[in-house]
Amino acid sequence: MKLPHLLTVDGLSRSQITTLLDTAVEMEAVGHREVKKIPALRGVTIVNAFFEDSTRTRMSFDLAAKRLSADTMAFSSKGSSTAKGESLRDTVLTIAAMGVDGFVIRHMGSGAPQRAMDWTGLPVVNAGDGMHGHPTQALLDAYAMRQKLGDLEGKHVAIVGDLFHSRVVRSNLTCLRTLGAKVTLVAPPTLLPQGIREWPNVDDGVAITTHLDDVVPTVDALMMLRVQRERMSGGFFPSEAEYTDGWGLTRERLTRLPEHAVICHPGPMNRGLEIAPEAADNARSLILDQVNAGVSVRMAVLFHIFAGDPTPDAAPANDSTPAAAGNENEGSK
């Protein structure tokens, strides 16, 4: 399977998402080898252009590219010419003129990765744009859940918290519905986006409620979203204590979660606000699994963009596949 870019999960078929997740299983195995590298993207130069602060996403994309033997260039808006007023267009065109092969872009402006791709003509992976989307986060969340729960068809996933400011919820909703999961969106009334019932993929398989306690006993996976206080200019809820009481995964709610259910959080967490430490550190928590999955899933995405088989919806089948590349590595130990 060959992907031209990854700007959004919208438009990806179930087969394409499954292929990415299956490839990520192979990529995860690379991380357990003595030599944690395969030559799939040797000679490819990828620019990690982060115009917005990040830890997990930036570092996992960098590690993913290096494990595929790609060369990487790191760009941060801090200390760059953008601080002097250079536009996004001029910045990406300047970098593209150096002969790079593609970009991973995180930007506070919705649609910025799309514009960068239009301007440069190079493949772009969206690492989070404004409140629009975060496709690789959705894929890694699905990967972590699938590894614990199996096929997500018919599984009930609740996404809880600051839906208004979240780019994660939009991408997760599309990804989970494409994989056949049932989704419940839970938030305070003030953090439910206007027109949410008209969103794509908000269909009969999606419920929307403000009552978390009704949902907790019914889920297979509970995903808590960070309260994005840095994006809040007004009072979206009376107090942090009242938010936790109504919509936080507290110790008491943890006791009512089904025994098989898993806990997710895309991070970073506000411990004690949207999630209690006892829940974050619980044996059923997939939070660190999600971080680990980020490297494998982003390896899979980069592989299918820069080295994938051009046959539509086909599994990778050339000399740069993880298996083939792994043979070369094993022989060079």
Residue 72 scores a pLDDT above 70: yes
Mean of pLDDT over the chain? 90
Q: How confident is the model at residue 228 (pLDDT cuts 50, 70, 90)?
A: confident
**For the whole model, what pTM was predicted?**
0.90
Whether 238 shows a pLDDT value over 90: the answer reads no
Binding-site members are: 56-57, 84, 106, 134, 137, 167, 226, 267-268
Statement: residue 287 has pLDDT above 60: yes
Contact status, residue 104 vs residue 74, Cβ threshold 8 Å: no
- What pLDDT, on a 0 to 100 scale, did the predictor assign at position 234? 58
Q: For residue 303, is pLDDT > 80?
A: yes
Q: Tell me: the pLDDT tens digits for 31-59?
A: 999 999 999 999 999 999 999 988 999 99
Residue 293 has pLDDT above 60, yes or no: yes
- For residue 310, pLDDT over 90 is answered with no
User: What pLDDT, on the 0 to 100 scale, is given for residue 84?
Assistant: 57
Give the tens place of pLDDT for each residue, 172-190. Answer: 999 999 999 999 999 999 9
| 128-142, 219-233, 313-327: segment of lowest average pLDDT | 313-327
For residue 81, the model assigns a pLDDT of 65
pLDDT of residue 85: 73
Taking the C-alpha atoms of residue 5 and residue 127, their distance in angstroms, rounded to an integer, is 12
Which conformational region is residue 66 in: left (phi greater than 0), alpha (psi within -120 to 50 degrees), or beta? alpha
> Which one-letter amino acid corresponds to residue 93?
L
Range 257-270 average pLDDT: 95
Q: Which CATH superfamily is domain 135-289 in?
A: Aspartate/ornithine carbamoyltransferase (3.40.50.1370)
Q: Percentage of residues in the chain with pLDDT exceeding 70?
A: 88
Cis before 268? omega within 30: yes
Of 94, 41, 86, the residue nearest 66 (C-alpha): 41
**HSE on the CB side for 6, CA within 13 Å?**
32
* Average pLDDT of the segment spanning 191-209: 92
CA–CA separation, 154 and 277 (whole Å): 29
Q: Count the residues in the chain.
A: 333
Phi (first) and psi of residue 274, to 5 degrees: -90, -15
- DSSP class of residue 249? B
Q: Which residues are annotated as a binding site for L-aspartate?
A: 84, 167, 226
Could you report the per-residue pLDDT of 312-328, keeping only the tens digit for each?
444 333 334 455 444 44
Are residues 136 and 7 in contact, defined by beta-carbon separation less than 8 angstroms? no
Long-range contacts of 113-119, Cβ-Cβ distance < 8 Å, separation of 24 or more: 113/7, 114/7, 115/88, 115/89, 116/49, 116/88, 116/92, 117/5, 117/7, 119/89, 119/92, 119/93
User: What secondary structure does DSSP assign to 32-46, as a single string?
Assistant: TSSS----TTTT-EE
332 confidence band (pLDDT: 50, 70, 90)? very low
DSSP-based helix, strand, coil % in the chain, nearest 5: 40, 15, 45
Q: Which of 245, 243, 279, 278 is nearest to 261 (CA)?
A: 279
What was the pLDDT predicted at 200? 85
Domain ranges of the chain: 14-132+294-328, 135-289
14-132+294-328 maps to which CATH number? 3.40.50.1370
Q: How far is CA 250 from CA 127, 258, 333, in A?
A: 30, 15, 49
Query: pLDDT value at position 327?
Result: 44
Pair of tokens at residue 80: 């760059």
Neighbours of 201 (CB within 10 A): 16
Average pLDDT over residues 283-291: 97
Q: What average pLDDT does this structure show over 215-230?
A: 91
- Would you state the pLDDT for residue 239? 84
Q: Per-residue pLDDT for 259 more than 60?
A: yes
Question: Model confidence at 311, in pLDDT bands (50, 70, 90)?
Answer: low
Q: Which residues are annotated as a binding site for carbamoyl phosphate?
A: 56-57, 106, 134, 137, 267-268
Q: How confident is the model at residue 63 (pLDDT cuts 50, 70, 90)?
A: very high
Round to whole Å and give the CA distance between 50 and 116. 13
